[in-house]
Structure 1
Amino acid sequence: MCGSLLQRLQDYLAERRIRRTRLVTKDGRCNIEYGNIMYRKHLSFLADFWTTVVEIRWRFVLLGFIASFTLSWFIFSLIWYWIARDNGDLTWQNPPEDHTPCVDHVVGLTTAFLYSLETQTTIGYGGRAITPNCPGAVAFIIIQSLIGAIINCFMCGVIMSKISSPKKRAKTITFSEMAVISPRNGSLCLSIRVANLRKSLMIGSQIYGKLLRTRNTPDGETLIMHQVNIDFMMETGKDNLFFVCPLTLYHIIDKSSPFFEMAVDTLHKQEFELVVFLDGTAESTSSSCQVRTSFIPQEIMWGYNFLPIISRSKDSKYKVDFSNFSKVVPVATAHCAYCFHNIKGHHHFSKTGHDNPGFAVIDITDPPNVTKM
């Protein structure tokens, strides 16, 4: 019992350590902090005020929404109170019976606040109304109406921008939890799986990767987060993916690949991070977005392949079984890329397909040269 708890504690601490050392989390957030920024550089955030407001968290947006309206109502109520006081309209000033007020029924700070609120929100309950006897008050109600309209437009724009942010569309793009290395079409490949959870397409989708690792140069300089390009592709190429269903994308491990020098027994001892990017344009909103995820050596499985998830039912509909999205099956694979390419007979190929028990088996009467999914 104690051994089991100790093992769980060690696994938990190891997972936390790995999570802290990642540059990009599994959901695409960048784990990086900026320090010692010069004070005058902070003014750049104020100059780009719109982007700063749009990028802050929802709690601060809602706080700013409430504060901007409440403070504007209160500040304008003080001015209306001052106008009423200057005209002798307040109750404690004991105005005569034939006195003509600037604003009807504004006789104190509370009524001044209510009138300010009713003016800026264009409610108008019919009890408090401005009179034409104070030209200054008429000009001021125009100013308040214009400022209130500006606040309304700004806050509505901020909320709409945050709601329609491309980052939210990226939430419905998911990657497999693990990457796999196995033979594919006569080559040793690193494969990942990506799916679009919405039926609306991602137009012009492109996927690519960056391998981040620490590298020492011949001059003795240590490069932290040195980036190496990793190309991903499908059988049809690497550009303009037809992202209508989950795709399995692969990177060919050849002599130009940074994975060529790795082997099954040394992969998990390496220190690197594979960051994968998917760029595309949402079909429904025409907004560009980028989806990111990362894989560390412990999340790359050597000698495995993904289970099939696409099938066609009896009613000729294509179906996707997401229960198999991240599931893998072992396949015969060379224990290193060098052996795969240079030692004859050292690698083996598994059968080209796997049974998918989630769907019914049907007879397809297509011509023999038609490729089935």
Structure 2
Amino acid sequence: MYEYDVENDQYNEIFFDDSSRRNSVSSRRSSRFSTTSHFSRVISKSGRLNTFQVKIPRKYANYFKDLGNTLLNIRWRWIMTALCLVNFASFFLFGLLYMWIAYASGDFDSTDDFCIVNTKNLTGYILLSIETMLTIGYGYRYPTEKCTLGWVVPLLQALVSVGIQGALVGAVYVKIAKPFTKNSLSIFSKKAVVAQRDGKMCLMIRIVDLTGKISIGTNVTMYFIDKFGGDPVVIKQIKTEPFGFLIFPVEIVHVIDCESPLWKVSPFDLLTKPFEVIVVAEGLSVITGQASQNRTSYTNSDILWGHRFLPCVHFDPVKQQYVINYKNLNQLIPFDTPLCSPQFLNSIDKTELINKDSK
């Protein structure tokens, strides 16, 4: 039997009985799973950033200084809570203001000449405040001609209401339109593959833009994070080949050469060394022109060695059109690929060339 030597990137022949082989295999499996399960994704499959910031200086002060970004980054439950609390506070404060105007005008002592008619308690003034913000006219409760401030305050409250509703509705719209949503899952292929392409080892993913969010000026960038050596803080950019524009599903290809972080990665490393490949796709929408960004990640368990994507675009000679079969978008087929790292494969090719030249 042959065992892979990680340090020398080669296979060594070993001999042992069945019991020792079973113990060795089980120990390698347990160590493999204990090693890889300790690490989690930096970027989730849906594109969310899996980080938690601690000991930020003046953290809460910065939240209030930049309320716009705070509203856009908090969860939906806090957006709805803020919407309810701000409106309730506005109703209550303007209700108190109406009550103060009525008290200053002598409504509580008068019997026939009122500034605000048909109410003399806090509940009534709060209802007047709600009617001012949520209706187009007054009914049972309203300010009279005697009450000058009673007509100035509704105007002020209407302006405040427009500001509150405009800010919160705008925040809700931008939050819905944010690119980091579950739509990222429909843009990238579920798996990445490593196989030979034009005689070179390549890492490939498939990308498709069904909604046209990134079809203008599309830019796709890959990053490599090695989690085997310690803290996953070293990020290396992976170069990709130009791919044109997204009129149909295309494959993003990274040629694994001597400058690639995957140069020494072998099939055995996919099982033992945890790493992550982050993919970021940016571009403009063909409908709104709005810039958008989608991202996902592929860990070593998401990368399949010796596979290629099944073709999903073909030409129909009858209709004279290109047909896209989205059923094959994530379909893979086996492909003959050397079971060694690109570095080791390159050394073998050089050795064969040297032997040919010597002959």
Normalising by structure 2, we get a TM-score of: 0.79
Structure 1, 284-293 or 125-134: larger mean CA deviation: 125-134
Task: Show CA shifts across 1:199-229 (max 9, x none).
Answer: 566211111211111587xxxxx66421222
Matches within 5 A, 1:145-160: 145-160=158-173
The amino acid that maps onto 2:269 is T
Aligned partner (choices 297, 305, 328) of residue 294 of structure 1: 297
CA contact (8 A) 2:213 2:283 kept: no
1:142 equivalent in alignment to 2:142 = no
The structural deviation recorded for 1:54 is 1.8
1:253 aligns with 2:266: no
Give 2:127's aligned residue: 114
Specify the alignment match of 1:191 in structure 2.
204
Residue aligning to 2:195: 182
Shift of 1:20: 5.5
Does 1:31 find its partner at 2:47? Answer: no
Match of 2:234 among 213, 216, 226: 226
Map residues 70-109 of structure 1 onto 2, 5 A cutoff: 70-90=88-108, 93=109, 95-96=110-111, 99-109=112-122
**C-alpha distance in structure 2 between counterparts of 1:265 and 1:169, whole Å:** 32
Tell whether 2:40 aligns with 1:21: yes
Once the 2 structures are TM-superposed, how far is the Cα of residue 282 of structure 1 from its aligned partner?
1.5
Structure 2 unaligned segments of length 5 or more: list them: 1-28, 353-359
- Tell me the secondary structure at the aligned position of residue 81 of structure 1: helix
- Would the aligned equivalents of 2:214 and 2:283 in 1 still touch at CA under 8 Å? no
Deviations for 1:225-267, whole angstroms, at most 9, x for unmatched residues? 212221122xxx25xx311111111111122222222222333
Tell me how far apart the structure 2 counterparts of residues 226 and 125 of structure 1 sit (CA, whole Å): 64
Runs of 4+ in 1 over 6 A off after TM superposition: none
Structure-1 separation of matches of 2:161 and 2:238? 52
Instruction: Write the letter of the residue equivalent to 1:294.
Output: S
Residues in 1 aligned to 2:91 and 2:39: alpha-carbon distance in whole angstroms: 46
8 Å CA contact 1:172, 1:196 repeated in 2: no
Question: Match for 2:157: what amino acid?
Answer: Q
Question: Which position in structure 1 is the counterpart of 2:23?
Answer: none
2:73 to 30, 48, 55: 55
Instruction: Give the whole-Å Cα distance in 1 for the aligned partners of 2:162 and 2:302.
Output: 53
Matching residue of 1:126:
139
Identical residues among aligned pairs (%): 28
Give the match for residue 369 of structure 1: none
Q: Which has the higher contact order (CA 8 A, sep 6+)?
A: 2
**How far apart are residue 71 of structure 1 and its match?**
2.2
User: 1:321 maps to which residue?
Assistant: 325
Larger mean CA deviation between 310-319 and 287-296 belongs to 310-319
Q: Could you tell me whether the CA contact under 8 Å between 1:19 and 1:25 is conserved in 2?
A: no
CA distance in 1, matches of 2:139, 2:336: 83
What is the total number of aligned residue pairs between the two structures?
Answer: 320
Task: State the AA in 1 paired with 2:42.
Answer: L
- 8 Å CA contact 1:45, 1:52 repeated in 2: yes
Contact preservation (8 Å) 2:312, 2:325: yes
After TM superposition, the score normalised by the length of structure 1 is: 0.76
What is aligned with 1:353? none
List alignment gaps of at least 5 residues for structure 1.
Answer: 1-9, 217-221, 348-373
